[in-house]
Structure 1
Amino acid sequence: MPDSLPVHLNRTDIHSLEVPNEFDATGSFDVQLRNHGEALHVHLHLDDSLSSIASLDATNHHVQAESDRLVRVTVDGDGPVRGKLKVVTAYGAETRYVDIYIPEGGVENEPVIVDEELSRPQPKPAGKSDPSLEDLSPGPILAAGGFTALIAGLVTLVLTGNVLMTVGVVLAVAVVLGLLSVAVRSA
């Protein structure tokens, strides 16, 4: 279970803000915004030292009346780092600072949660063939083959000077291309 930093909103008065003086995190943690009254906005800010290894997805949060909201502080780097988390309610009506300490190796202490679904083999969709053959169409193959047959015929004609041999080479390449086209269509 990840660490959680409790922040009480509207518990004693409108826009009141109660936070602990300090918080030790062993890696990424949640800021638990617990609203005891009317809906309000909360702004969270990491100082420079904390933001060097940690981040927030968003800094401004609307917390509904009588509700809880979790805000994730993701620790991506290694400590030790000591810094401040600034918590502001109602667009500046109240401001508090929490001293945050992230020890050395804090990220390594986080558990890796693996879903059991990953251990099961995924079935292949029915009726699908080899994906490498799905995108092949005979048109480009025949065009490339026709070009190859023409080049082979011209080379044969230039080297031998024999028209019958040239026609034979072109026909042989055409037969191979036809067979390749049939194979692609049936795949």
Structure 2
Amino acid sequence: MDPLTVAVNRDGLHTLEVPSEFKAAGPFAVELRNYGEAAHVHLNLDDRISRVARIGATNHYVEADERRLIDVETREASGWPADTVRGKLKVVVGHGQRTHYVDVTLDRSAAENEVRVDPDLATPDTERDEGTPPVVRLLPVVVLGSVAVLLAVGALFAAGTLVVFLGGLALVSALLCTAAAYVLFR
């Protein structure tokens, strides 16, 4: 959903441009766009709309040429007194020099038909996965496994203490092979 946009200082110091009405199905954002000098912008929801919605902070200092999004949170739909709640958002700039009201309509029945899409999904993924091909990742496992098999076969043909030594090497090689496979394929 598009935010409720408030233009600050576009036509001079302490001027406001706000829409006369705004509709939302649930939580929404107020976008403060400052086109001039730094300013304090005060946002306040009237009693009717504040039964289902709230703004975390009401006073916002907006730097020159800054754009800031202020979240307006809403209660769970089950806590609403009706499907549609109407009220006013008061927007004040310059410590009371200019005041405008926006008629806000929150319609929870519209939320059932609305599909929320994360804006980040519209941003293309510029990083390609340059991961190692699976064949190259398997190479250490194949090499260590082959060494384990060769040592085991060599142990069959050897005699004496060499058998114990080669058997131990085969066991260590098999353990390394298992550990490599675990690391590569988890």
Provide the TM-score with structure 2 as the length reference: 0.56
Match of 1:59 in 2: 58
- The question of 1:83 aligning with 2:87 is answered yes
Following the alignment from structure 1 to structure 2, what is the Cα–Cα distance between the partners of residues 55 and 21? 20
CA displacement at 1:62 relative to structure 2: 0.3
Question: Would you say the 8 A contact 2:26–2:108 is kept in 1?
Answer: no
Q: Kindly provide the amino acid, as one letter, of the partner of residue 67 in structure 2.
A: D
Distance change in 2, residues 1:74/1:107 (3 Å): farther
Secondary structure of 1:3's match? coil
Gaps of 5+ in 2: 78-82, 119-186
Partner of 2:32, secondary structure, is strand
* SS of equivalent to 1:69: strand
Contact 1:76 1:107 in 2 (8 A): no
Q: Are 1:101 and 2:100 an aligned pair?
A: no
Task: State the Cα distance separating 1:87 from its structure 2 match.
Answer: 0.3
Change (3 A) 1:83 1:77: farther
Structure 1 Cα separation of the partners of residues 5 and 12 of structure 2: 17
- Check whether the contact 1:26–1:110 (CA below 8 A) recurs between aligned residues: no
SS of aligned partner of 1:61: strand
User: Residue 28 of structure 1 contacts residue 107 of structure 1 at CA under 8 Å; is this kept in 2?
Assistant: no
Cα separation, partners in 2 of 1:60 and 1:106, compared to 1, 3 Å: farther
Q: Percent identity?
A: 49
- Does the 8 A contact of 1:36 with 1:67 survive in 2? yes
- Pair 26,74 (structure 1): closer, same or farther in 2 beyond 3 Å: same
C-alpha contact (below 8 Å) 1:5/1:32 kept by paired residues:
yes
- Per the alignment, residue 14 of structure 2 pairs with 15
Q: How does 1:19-38 map onto structure 2 within 5 Å?
A: 19-38=18-37
